[in-house]
Amino acid sequence: MEPQNTSMGESAHIIFTEGDFYQSHFDARVYFDSFYASPQGHSDEDYLPFVLHQLSKTFSAGNLRGQRLIEVGTGPTIHSLISACESFEEIVVSDFTDSNRREIEKWLRQEEGCLDWNPIIQFVCELEGKRTPGEVARRLRATVKQVLRCDVRLENPFHPVTVEPADCVMTSLCLEAACKDLDTYRRAVQSLAALVKPGGALVIIGALKETFYVVGQQRFSCLNLSQSFIEKTLRDLGFSIQQFNTLPAKRGGVNQVSDFDAIFHLVAQKWN
């Protein structure tokens, strides 16, 4: 049985920061400025370059393609879709927090003052060496067809909207932040699994052994997850894990923004 740890130094009465807390306390602009303003990401972490490289390899290989990709828990970001947008005809993005969805919509409409993703897009283009930033931005804006509200704790995360199963479902740094315990996490993964077509893929980016992260001065909870628990959860749902890549946390000093042991990127295929 996996332990259900609380954050180090937190007493048991501390409430896990679920969706409603995000709605009132999550600052999308501060989050972007802290973690995504440059391709290097936050100075305490190697998260962003690692993830951009892994997603580039995942989608450049040509194995993950199809009609639709669904991203669950997009936040205010588009970085995870840069390499993927060429491989799908339509993309559905989603998030629980209104301000995050507004930032996505502002970027899609190229509104004045929208978040500047050009440095990240440029980085991925140089990594892949086959598209220009302008081409990628146009392709991504044309491919994102829906921006939906989602709650991963629901059997249908998009309730009351119904979305048809997709060739690929992706989620990044969402489940460990949204799920207060392991049972909730299992149910959330089950809900994502139902959105994947037979033979389709589930791509998850997340953190191992993380109990908190900080945006500005605001602390948010995370569910302490192990690789073995994640792998067993997916196998029990009929997935075969194709890749499970990890990046250990920097240990040169105290990380003030999070306490994860490692960042992971996994690709799993649904057999039934």
User: What residue numbers does the annotated binding site cover?
Assistant: 31, 36, 95, 100, 151-152
As given in the structure block, the two tokens for residue 133 are: 């930033």
* Contacts with 140 (C-beta within 8 Å, 6 or more apart), sequence order: 78, 81, 82, 85, 91
Q: Which residue has the tokens 């009609």?
A: 67
Separation between Cα atoms, residue 88 and residue 140, nearest integer Å: 10
Q: Which residues are annotated as a binding site for S-adenosyl-L-methionine?
A: 31, 36, 95, 100, 151-152
Instruction: With beta carbons less than 8 A apart as the criterion, state whether 271 and 237 touch.
Output: no
| DSSP string for residues in 192-239 | HHHTEEEEEEEEEEEEES--EEEETTEEEE-----HHHHHHHHHHTTE
